[in-house]
Structure formats: C-alpha cells, structure tokens
A and B are shown apart, each in its own frame.
Chain A
C-alpha cells in the first residue's frame, strides 16, 4: 500500500469512527445535562436585555425563545409538571421580542394560569401577559377572549370576565360569540353551559394541538359532570317510584327511565353503585372530572403525553 493511500484509508476510517462517536456522545450529553443545566438557568431573564442583545434580529430570536417555551412546558409536562417557573419569563421574553406573536399569548393564557400540573398556577402573570398583548394588538379579538377566559375560569372574577368579552366584542371583525359570552357571563356565571361555550370557543379558535387537547379534555369532563348529575337524578326518581334503589342500569331501562345503557364520551358505560351513585369506569383516564369519582378521590389531572 502506498503511503498516500494508507493515509487516506486511515483518515477515512478515523473520520467515520469519530463521527459516530461524536453523535453517540452528543446523545449521552443530552442525558447527562440535567434540567438545571438545560433549563433552570435562564441567563438573561430580562426581556429588555434580551431585546437589546438581539441586535435587531428580534424576529429570529423570538422564534427561538418561543420554541424554548413550548419545549420547556412539554418536557416538564411529560414528567408530571410539578412547577413551570420558567414559563412566564420565557413567554415574556418571546413577546418582548415579537409583540405580534399571538400564539405566545394564547399559550400563556392557557398554561400560565391553571394550577400545576395543568399549568404554572400564575394567573396574575397570565393576565399581565395578555394585557401586554392587547396593548400591542388592540384589534385582535382573540386576546380579549383569552383575558376573559382567565378571569372566568381561573380567577372566577365574572364581572371582569364579562368586561373583557365586552371589550373584545367592540373590536372590528370580532367573533360574534364574544357578545354572547359577555351577556352569558354576566347572567349565567358558573353554569355548565357558559363553561361549555368557552371551551368550545377555545377548541375552535386555535390550531395549537396542546391547547386543543386541553379544550377536548375539559369538554369531556363537563359532559361527564352533566351526565352523572342527570343519571343520579334518574336514580332518585326511580327510588321514589319503586321504593328501592335500582340494582343495575337495566332496571332503569325496564322502568322506562333510560333508553339503552348510558356511556361516557370515551365510549365506556357508566357504573351504577350499590348506594345509587354513578361512577365512571376508570376515573384516572378522564382528566378534570369533578363528578362520577369514587368517594374521596380528587379530580384527576391530564396524563403526561409526549409531544
């Protein structure tokens, strides 16, 4: 073998070996680098400073921070989401860099406000973020909707929620449902039908898969809460008529109270308990339900899913 050829073969083999090693080592590095290294140290946590350091490349940097925010939330959610303390600064930086990035406000409204593990449990930060968004995008009705949603759902401040929906309904090209929501929130606050209108609106007006899934989960939970209430009323009526509790759902069918076995939105039949209560088959499977649970069980939270 000539010297030059020998060098070529050796260098080629070494190159391939080193390349494979570097890829493997990079994968190991990802595992070794803990949250502390990767995420918990936000070097520049001041939006103003990050904007100054972006040297005018605000848009690109905003996209990078937006990706970081989504990844941060997703990765914390996968491990149970005990806290999301960096979500607020990441979204604040993102929107400071690009105040027109509506999806960031939408994400903040949906995941900054709810309590862990569903969200960061910081409704005040969510309100501040969306108000900042409204100041920079006063003609975007969606932001008023998000603000009203936070006040209604998380803060239970129905007067402010109604006010936010009302403000949004006056924006040019606002969705007509905002006017309905303003009136419903004022007159029927706390009722299931208002909650359903809100979550359906959230589902229909977003493209973000995480926000859509969250809305689907809440809509299912509302439907189950409603079903369980209705079925327990049916059981009570049967007891009044027959003088005893029904042993099975078939007893209710035979007595003409039900047409077929009732099933939950996921297709599983409801269970009739010996004390006349109604329970879902597998409560851990259905997040956010407040009824149809075994006695003493807390409302289940969504199962972590890999994005």
Chain B
C-alpha cells in the first residue's frame, strides 16, 4: 500500500509540474472571467450563464487533462525507460497502475478544486446582492459528479494506455466519453428496437460508461436540488465502473511483454 501511495504522489508531482496543466487551469479561470462578461450582457440570467459556462469549462478542461495525461501514464514511463527502473524494485505491476491512477485522480481533484473557486468567485460577482444562496450548494454536487466523470475517464485512459499507442488511446477514450454522454439515448434506442438488435444495443448501453447520469449542470443551473440517492448511486456506479476498467488494465498489463 505504501508503494502505491509513493507512486501516486510521484504521479501527482509530475503532473503538477507539467506546464500544460497550469495553462489549462489559467484558461479555465479565464473562461470563468468570460462568464462574468457574458453574464453582464445576459439580462436576468447572469447566474444561469455563469453556472452553465463555468461548470462546462471545468468539465471540458478536466476531460482533456484526464485523457491526455492518462494516456501517457504508461507509455511515457516506457519511452523514458523509467518503468523498468520502477519494476526492477519490489513494485508489482498492479501497484504501479493503481498508483498512477490514484495520482492522476488526485491531480484532477486538486485541479477541479481551483477551477471551482473560480466558478464560485464568478458567481459571487454576478449575484445581487453579492452573497451565496442556499441552492448554490447544489453546484458542489455538480462539481462532485464532474470529478466522478474524471475518475471514470482516468481509469479508461489507463486501460487503453496499457495495450495501445497514446494516439489510439486518446481516440478510444474520447470516443467513449462522447458515446457515454449519450448513454441514455443509447438505452432509449435499445428499448425501441427488437430481437437481437435490442439485446446487442442493451448490452452496449450497459457496457459504455454512463456520463449522462453524472451531468447535472443544467439542473443546478436552474436551481433544482440533487437527490441524496442520486449522489450515493452515482458515486457507487463511478467507483464500480472505474474498478472494471482498472481490473482490465491490470489483467492486460500483467501479461504484457515489456522487453
């Protein structure tokens, strides 16, 4: 366990040192600033615009970070040959993978934390009077769901990077993100089809990650509450799905010839 924590800490340090990461944070804060401008010219819907734009920016930048850093977690170590140094020590392959996953997830959590500060600051700025309302607390739930999206995406990026090239891994992970965002429509198609098509479509609908259930941006923007059940089930679902992807990655990586 100690070894997993060390690898996670190293992954976090490496990611934080990454200039791309800093640029993205700066850009997200810039976007939140843009939200203020848009909010000022959108009469009576300032809060709506700030929440929609701010949370969408947090989600999109996090998704880009999760995919592009996640796909390099294994391949970069192999390219720099540091993986061999790590594995020559008493570190198991699964510990390496799990450590990498936790490190990237932690990075994204910290990243989201700073972006969230930007969103709340923008919200405070456009609110009249300048104070938070009780329903603003639901934005925290939306942010938590966004972090859960990142957890799933990190695990998927890790899975693909365990057997594929960085470019293909990015394509696979991004494709699954897009498909997963329409997961409920996919289940809708499945319900409307018949016979074998229905079985196949239902199977595919349950196999792809359900990102649509984790997207409550519109709901919180309209000041609607998030149920406690949804928070519990979404958390459990994100953890279960990530576990599937990580176990898959471990199984592949255990058998991979690293020579």
User: Chain A interface (Cβ within 8 Å of chain B)?
Assistant: 3-4, 7-8, 11-12, 14-15, 18-19, 21-23, 25-26, 28-30, 32-34, 36-38, 41, 43, 64, 67-68, 70-71, 307
Asked whether A41 and B237 contact (CB < 8 A) given A22-B244, A64-B182, the answer is no
User: Chain B interface (Cβ within 8 Å of chain A)?
Assistant: 92-94, 182, 184-185, 187-189, 191-192, 206, 210, 213, 216-219, 222, 224, 227, 229-230, 233-234, 236-237, 240-241, 243-244, 247-248, 250-251, 254
A30–B237 alpha-carbon span in the complex (Å): 12
Asked whether A8 and B222 contact (CB < 8 A) given A18-B240, A25-B236, A64-B182, the answer is no
**In the complex, are the beta carbons of B250 and A3 less than 8 A apart?**
no
**In the complex, are the beta carbons of B218 and A25 less than 8 A apart?**
no
Q: Which residue of B lies closest to A23 (CB)?
A: B206
A43–B185 alpha-carbon span in the complex (Å): 15
**In the complex, are the beta carbons of B251 and A21 less than 8 A apart?**
no
Q: Which residue of A lies closest to B249 (CB)?
A: A11
Q: Which residue of A lies closest to B247 (CB)?
A: A15
**In the complex, are the beta carbons of A4 and B254 less than 8 A apart?**
yes
Say whether chain A's binding surface is mostly helix, strand, loop, or mixed: helix
**In the complex, are the beta carbons of A29 and B237 less than 8 A apart?**
yes
**In the complex, are the beta carbons of A14 and B243 less than 8 A apart?**
yes
Q: Which of B93, B224, B243, B251 contacts A41 (CB 8 A)?
A: B224
Say whether chain B's binding surface is mostly helix, strand, loop, or mixed: helix
Q: Which of B182, B192, B210, B247 contacts A26 (CB 8 A)?
A: B210
Chain A residues lying within 8 Å of B188, measured Cβ to Cβ, are 67-68, 71
Chain A residues lying within 8 Å of B244, measured Cβ to Cβ, are 15, 18-19, 22
A8–B254 alpha-carbon span in the complex (Å): 8
Q: Which of B216, B230, B250 contacts A11 (CB 8 A)?
A: B250
**In the complex, are the beta carbons of B248 and A28 less than 8 A apart?**
no
Chain A residues lying within 8 Å of B233, measured Cβ to Cβ, are 25, 28-29, 32
**In the complex, are the beta carbons of A7 and B254 less than 8 A apart?**
yes
A14–B251 alpha-carbon span in the complex (Å): 11
**In the complex, are the beta carbons of B237 and A26 less than 8 A apart?**
yes
**In the complex, are the beta carbons of B251 and A12 less than 8 A apart?**
yes
**In the complex, are the beta carbons of A11 and B184 less than 8 A apart?**
no
How many Å from the CB of B58 to the closest CB on chain A? 16
A15–B240 alpha-carbon span in the complex (Å): 9
Chain B residues lying within 8 Å of A32, measured Cβ to Cβ, are 227, 229-230, 233
How many Å from the CB of A22 to the closest CB on chain B? 4
**In the complex, are the beta carbons of A43 and B192 less than 8 A apart?**
no
**In the complex, are the beta carbons of B94 and A7 less than 8 A apart?**
yes
A17–B164 alpha-carbon span in the complex (Å): 25
Q: Which residue of B lies closest to A30 (CB)?
A: B187
Given contacts A29-B237, A33-B213, A70-B192, 13 further A-B contacts (CB under 8 A): A7-B93, A8-B254, A11-B247, A19-B240, A19-B244, A22-B237, A25-B237, A26-B206, A37-B230, A41-B219, A67-B189, A68-B188, A307-B192
